[in-house]
Structure 1
Amino acid sequence: MAQAKPSGECRPRGRPQLRSDEETRRIVFDAARHAFAVDGYAATSTEELARRAGISTKTLYRLFPGKAALFEAMCADRLEQLLSAVDLQGSDEVDIETGLRAALLACADLALDPEVVALQRMVLQESAAFPELAANFYNNGIFRTVRTLAGWLRVQVKRKRIAIDDAEEVAGMLIGMVASAPQRAAIYGGMPLPSRKQIERRVQTCAALFLDGCRAA
């Protein structure tokens, strides 16, 4: 009589299920974010990135022409995810101060996101040798955030809630008020990023300064 095979041996055989290119890109982005943050851009090779992602260098080059293209795509992808969650659409039922606080808080959440700050730190460290990194980070992150807030400000101007001439210039000033000092403290001073409560308090102060000023009567 034939002896029955143990159940552990009765496994279906065949080729493993292939990942889509989109799934593979996500894995590469995760591996690259960690590698760049820990080892830096210059010290991270494409071979190391492929190894961390569990793919061949041939597959990596098929998806991304080179390390610079990978870095640009990685930044754009992460910032796109964060920006897609930013809703700055004003409502006629919300007063201007409440709306401005909500808009500034959304921008602060993006600017002070730990991953974004880590990327900015790395870009600053590598910018002398790789100036294209700084340009890509600015265009995909900083400028897009300013442009998003500027669009919200233009809506408020159209509704005659505020009077400003250059919405993009004002948006840059507001984001600078909210985020620049905490960013510099974290990047250059090694200070922890502000807590949610601290960010909310900073946003409240910035909104009041913008709308009411601080000149004594």
Structure 2
Amino acid sequence: MTDTSKKFRRRADARPDEVLDAALAVFVEKGFAAAKVEEVAKRAGVSKGTVYLYFPSKEALIEGIVRRAVAPIAVRALPDLEQFEGDPRLPITMLLTVLVQQLAQPDKIAVPRLILREVMSFPSIAELYRKEVLGKVMPALTGLIRRGVETGKLRKVDPDLTVRSIIGPVLAHVALAEIFGIKPEGEGLGLDGLVANHLDILFHGICAEPGEATP
């Protein structure tokens, strides 16, 4: 294969991500309803036909954006949540750490920002996020908590409600900042400090003391 052919192939392989980057920027800037595929194509530096080659609709574009955003969590955190049999604090910490790492990146925080902005007007977007993100993370996390209770590593807490207590503060923190403009002092969202504080409170609340819980 010639150098020119290799460069063309690398360029073609990168195009779906370039289109998704452009779509995310346009959706955040214009709003999902007002955004046009032509604008996405122009931002990506490709033709409208090229966009449709990879993504046949605006809905397919936002689906691709959500799936790409959750991929690192699905690859790095979900297998441990689903299979882990030891101290539940370890995979919970890893999950929230991966989540914070994602949200700390401007292009990644743009995804939940977009979802929060569009969720009331477009229920299908909420359903997509529920299926692709919450529908994968919450059952795995619930199973982890249930196993922790059964083995006596956690107190006898309700697994379903406890999952809401684990992920709720992070979601509420982002919502307070992005919807109501209530942000912590200093630069950015202060997610590292939030997670450290949250884990300290959480683990002192749900973890069994020696001799307290029995399987």
TM range (shorter): 0.7 to 0.9
- CA-CA distance at 1:66 after TM superposition: 0.2
1:55 match: secondary structure:
coil
Q: Distance in 1 between matches of 2:13 and 2:156?
A: 43
Structure-2 change in CA distance of 1:205 and 1:111 (3 Å): farther
1:41 aligns with 2:32: yes
Residues 103, 109 of structure 2: 8 Å contact kept: yes
Q: Which residue of 2 aligns with 1:30?
A: 21
Q: What residue identity is the alignment partner of 1:81? A: P
Q: Which residue of 1 aligns with 2:47?
A: 56
Structure-2 change in CA distance of 1:21 and 1:170 (3 Å): farther
- CA-CA distance at 1:199 after TM superposition: 1.9
Q: Which residue of 1 aligns with 2:202?
A: 206
1:194 aligns with 2:178: no
* 1:51-130 alignment, distance < 5 Å: 51-86=42-77, 87-88=80-81, 90=84, 92=86, 95=87, 98-99=89-90, 102-103=93-94, 105-106=96-97, 109=100, 112-113=103-104, 115=107, 117-130=109-122
Please give the TM-score of this superposition, normalised by the length of structure 1.
0.73
What is the aligned length?
198
Bigger share in helix = 2
Q: Distance in 2 between matches of 1:13 and 1:19?
A: 10
- CA-CA distance at 1:71 after TM superposition: 0.4
Q: What residue identity is the alignment partner of 2:171? A: S
- CA-CA distance at 1:160 after TM superposition: 3.5
Residues 108, 199 of structure 1: 8 Å contact kept: no
Measured against aligned partners, the alpha-carbon deviations of 1:42-72 in whole angstroms (never above 9, x if no partner) come to 2221111111122211121121110011101
Structure 1, unaligned stretches of length 5 or more? Answer: 1-11
* 1:127-146 alignment, distance < 5 Å: 127-146=119-138
Bigger Cα Rg: 1
Of residues 150-159 and 36-45 in structure 1, the stretch that sits farther from structure 2 once superposed is 150-159
Q: Distance in 2 between matches of 1:211 and 1:16?
A: 54
Q: Which residue of 1 aligns with 2:212?
A: none
1:174 aligns with 2:166: yes
- CA-CA distance at 1:20 after TM superposition: 6.6
Q: Percent identity?
A: 25
Quote the RMSD (CA, aligned, Å): 3.3
Of residues 68-77 and 116-125 in structure 1, the stretch that sits farther from structure 2 once superposed is 116-125
Structure-2 change in CA distance of 1:103 and 1:164 (3 Å): farther
1:154 aligns with 2:146: yes
Please give the TM-score of this superposition, normalised by the length of structure 2.
0.74
Structure-2 change in CA distance of 1:25 and 1:189 (3 Å): same
Q: Distance in 2 between matches of 1:121 and 1:103?
A: 23
